[in-house]
Amino acid sequence: ALMRCNFLRQRNLGQTIIKVFSASNNYGFRISTMQSSTVTAERHKQSIVNQVHNKIDHNIGVSHELFQSLYSSCENSDSITEHDAILMLHVCTIGPFDSPTQKRTELADKIWNKLEQQGVPISTKLFNVKLKVHVTNETPFSAVEALEKLKSLGLKPDRVTYGYLLEGFCQQGDLTGANDVLEAMKASGYLLGIGVFNSFITGHFKSGSPDEAANVVNVLKSRGLTPDADTYSRFALHYAKIGDIESVLKYINEAQGAGEPLDQSVLLELYRTMVISGHFDKVEQLLKVMSETTKSIGTFMQKSSQLASEGHIEAAVQLYILMPKTESKFECNTGSYLLKAMIANGQHSAEEVMNIADRIVELNAKALPHRNALLHAYKLDRTDFAVQFLELMKAKNEKIKVPHLAPAICNYRKAQNREGLHQVLRMLLDLKGNYCAEDKMDCLLRLAIQH
């Protein structure tokens, strides 16, 4: 950045910028500022698609940054294919992991609008994935309007479509609509599986009939079906929303005893549900249960990041504390996803981010959260925030190097923000140590010459 603005000689590049900003980021990618000009847009798109598939296959999670790269690469190609659309919508059913649920459905709507603008043929399969985004994120949608839209496209609902429409009605507590879908399924000759009964459990809870919800279990057993993990999770989720931790634990234990244990992702969603419903003060026992299960770093990191993006920082930190700590070359980046989510959220001050960075260091002495917070602030184009954070680092005697200030100098100069530029230059002059003397002089001399 300094070289582009003629603030730094090329011979110093390896001593400054690369040292600070060439480290792998929190998701295992090497930060790079250049791509070969010979790489075509299609090859670039395929590379990103492969990255997304790899993240999904290994349960690492797709970040908002990677999702935006995927969307941009698809948008810049000749046209968005059905395969592209299905992949992007699928990501929205489970992420981006560092985005709140409302943002996920907004991204899905953006994709859908783009498909309609480009005249991409809509298949039943593609339509079903769109419905799945709303259902899995539990964002309200009109099942009636969805069915009418499907018919207007000349498509016929299949078993999957009916399942999502049924779930949509049940999530709204509309049992009349759910029963209409049920009759349509019967008329189409579809057999009623355990998923249908599980949806009605949610429907009865939403309509205020917990006794009827409990009776659904008896009905499904009378049909020769056996409650599965999803059956128990529906009950646990309802009680998590109302803060009844004893009932939550009861259904977790019942599922375990029935040989249908709730997996880690379900337990984490129960935790998140209690937090966002205002019952964080009651999660201690649930945290204990999760601490006794085999933990996946990826799953914990994704849910922790989602909570941070939704503003529940302390709840996110508690999950970070539970995450397995392993020795690796990326250990310096541990916890940086929390800082990134806080900065991207835009509702947290530099002081709040600094406090979390300090806690991360207390939990892992090898972590470099302050450096990572700066990196994320610059990448998110929040220069003022980065400078505020640098001032806090200075007050705490944290080590500051010339490259930490370089992006701020370039950004302020480009924006012709003289006040901000002077503030950063004063910080530059205050840096101590011979290691930065030559770079400081380069910055000052070239700035003086150009002005």
Write the pLDDT tens digit of every residue in 279-300.
999 999 999 999 888 777 888 8
Which residue in this structure is represented by tokens 């349509």?
A: 184
Record the tokens describing residue 301, joined without a space: 């990191």
The pLDDT, as a whole number, for residue 12 is 44
Whether the ω angle into residue 96 lies within 30 degrees of 0, i.e. cis, is yes
Please state, in angstroms and rounded to a whole number, the distance separating the CA atoms of residues 50 and 74.
Answer: 13
> What is the pTM (predicted TM-score) of this model?
0.83
Query: Residue 42 and residue 21: Cα distance in Å, rounded?
Result: 28
Give ∠ CA 298-299-301 in degrees, rounded to 5. Answer: 65
Type of residue found at 208: G
pLDDT digits (tens, 9 = 90+) for 140-168: 888 889 989 998 999 999 999 999 999 99
Q: Smallest Cα–Cα separation from 306: which of 271, 255, 279, 349?
A: 271
Q: Which of 287, 344, 358 is nearest to 318 (CA)?
A: 287
CB 279 within 8 A of CB 248: no
State whether residue 328 is helix, strand or coil: coil
Please return the burial class of 269, using the count of CB atoms within 10 Å of its CB with bins 0-12, 13-18 and 19+.
Answer: middle
207-238 confidence digits (pLDDT tens): 999 999 999 999 999 999 999 999 999 999 99
